[in-house]
Amino acid sequence: MTTLGRIVFFVLSVNLGACCQSVMCSAKELVDDIKNCTLDDFIDLDGTELASPDIQELVASIRAELGMKDFFVEVRLTEIETSPAFVAGKHHLFINEDIFRGLNRDEQRGIIGHELIHLRNNHGLKSLLISSSIYSPIGLVLYKVLQDQLHRSKSWAYKFTARLVYFSMFLGFYKCCSIFVHRHYEKEADIVSAQELNTAESRISYFTREDLLEKNYLNSEEYKRKSLFERCKYSFQMFFDPHPSNAKRIAYLQKLMQSKEYQKSL
């Protein structure tokens, strides 16, 4: 190789090396960003208060049992009545004190354990990333089909209807993808927390009671008096609930209780 050839080879290798290094650095930064992205910055904490010391202590003791001693969790109160507790981002646990205090100690442990597993295993971010990855290709095809149709038609009514259909399909498909992923992580949180805290029994009694309450409500005069629209809305909400049904949760927790692994850990 001539001297000029060697110089060119040297310059090219250095450049190639630098390019590879910068690509790898950016890829690493991207991965770090994704790892550190907790969505906590998007949580609206206005009007919420920190939970009382006894609840904070209970959460801290369960965190220790789950090996999350160094994992920061901010426990706040909420007035949302859909469940006794829920999590947001990677470090926020919200508790509805009125509902929560109506539960016995074992049920409280079971509920907090379930929520903490969501945080420890980063379920919020994973759900978002996985549901959008499943949905994106479907959404792209839908969008392409709609665009082709819109270009062909001159009728505003047709265009309006096509857009309406697209958005309802968009919402429907996305909702289905996200429910599918959510239910998977709900099951994971139920099983892992029950396994690590031995709370399968209290979880089963909680879901059995919830199931009975739901059945009683559906048979009640109050429900029967509701308008058809209200009843359809209720069934729709049940159908698209991101949690598995109470019956399913009871069934897989019972299966877990019968497993040798669980029996051994008791």
Interaction mask 128-167, Zn ion, x per CB under 5 A:
----------------------------------------
Write the DSSP assignment of 177-229 as a string of letters.
HHHHHHHHHHHHHHHHHHHHHT-HHHHHHHHHHHHHHHHHHHHSHHHHTS-HH
Decide whether 131 or 166 has the Cβ nearer to Zn ion: 131
CB atoms within 10 A of CB 190: 25
Long-range CB contact pairs, 135-139, < 8 A, 24+: 135/173, 135/174, 135/177, 135/178, 138/173, 138/177, 139/170, 139/173, 139/174
Q: In angstroms, what is the minimal distance from the CB of 188 to Zn ion?
A: 9
Residue with tokens 């426990």, as numbered in its chain? 75
Give the range of 10-18, 174-182, 186-194, 233-241 binding Zn ion by CB under 5 A.
186-194
Query: φ and ψ at 95, to 5 degrees?
Result: -130, 135
Decide whether 107 or 186 has the Cβ nearer to Zn ion: 186
Give the range of 1-9, 61-69, 154-162, 183-191 binding Zn ion by CB under 5 A.
183-191
Q: In angstroms, what is the minimal distance from the CB of 114 to Zn ion?
A: 6
Give the range of 5-13, 104-112, 180-188, 205-213 binding Zn ion by CB under 5 A.
180-188
Q: In angstroms, what is the minimal distance from the CB of 263 to Zn ion?
A: 25
Decide whether 146 or 186 has the Cβ nearer to Zn ion: 186
Task: Decide if 80 contacts 94 (C-beta within 8 A).
Answer: yes
Residue with tokens 């058809």, as numbered in its chain? 228
Q: In angstroms, what is the minimal distance from the CB of 82 to Zn ion?
A: 11
Q: In angstroms, what is the minimal distance from the CB of 254 to Zn ion?
A: 19
Helices 156-197 and 53-65: angle between axes, nearest 10 degrees: 80
Decide whether 162 or 210 has the Cβ nearer to Zn ion: 210
Residue numbers at the binding site for Zn ion (CB under 5 A): 186
